[in-house]
Copies of this chain bind each other. A is one copy, B any other.
């Protein structure tokens, strides 16, 4: 997906404010200032605060989904597909941690029609992940577990990063990816498979 760097900066700046002050307490003036825009400049890009919240949530899920769907299409091995899912999600989080915080904590502020667009994207991500798991279980490469428990255990690990992980802390992005792969993939491969 080609992304406009100025727009990406605006979304990161808005996500930083929303994640620190909360969506409700953040003003359009603050959003414009944080993004280095005049208020008029901000209104050139978006119609208001809710547009920004929607864009942060929708474009975050869409960006991860895009990588996940490409990775799943490009490799038929379920363990490598799952590795690619982990890598896509963790790399996006590492680059834009506040966006996932906002997605986790503030998405409920969106009106129902805006929220349902994002829920549809999340559903596609979940379906892609459950598909990988189901095919791996059918082929015997993955353990026969409940697909929802297996899928949401991984999603909980990667979506929970904003609660504790500091992208500037001692564990770098690559090490974090290796840890999540190690913990999750070994947990779900079939017993006879090498981890």
Residues of A that sit less than 8 Å from B by CB: 143, 145-146, 148-150, 152-153, 155-157, 159-161, 163-165, 170-171, 175-176, 179-180, 182-188, 191, 195
Contacts and interface: CB of A to CB of B under 8 A. Distances in A.
B153 A180 contact: yes
Given A155-B160, A160-B155, A149 B188 contact: no
Given A163-B152, A183-B184, A171 B146 contact: yes
A127 to B, nearest CB: 14
Contacts of A152: 160, 163-165
Given A148-B171, A152-B163, A153-B157, 14 more contacts: A143-B182, A146-B171, A146-B175, A146-B179, A149-B176, A153-B180, A156-B156, A156-B157, A159-B163, A160-B160, A183-B188, A185-B187, A186-B195, A191-B195
Q: How many copies does the complex hold?
A: 2
Interface residue SS majority, chain A: helix
A185 B165 CA distance: 21
21 contacts: A145-B179, A146-B170, A148-B164, A149-B165, A149-B171, A149-B176, A149-B179, A149-B183, A153-B179, A153-B180, A153-B183, A153-B184, A155-B164, A156-B156, A156-B157, A156-B163, A157-B157, A159-B163, A183-B187, A185-B187, A191-B195
Nearest to A146: B171
A69 to B, nearest CB: 21
A191 B194 CA distance: 10
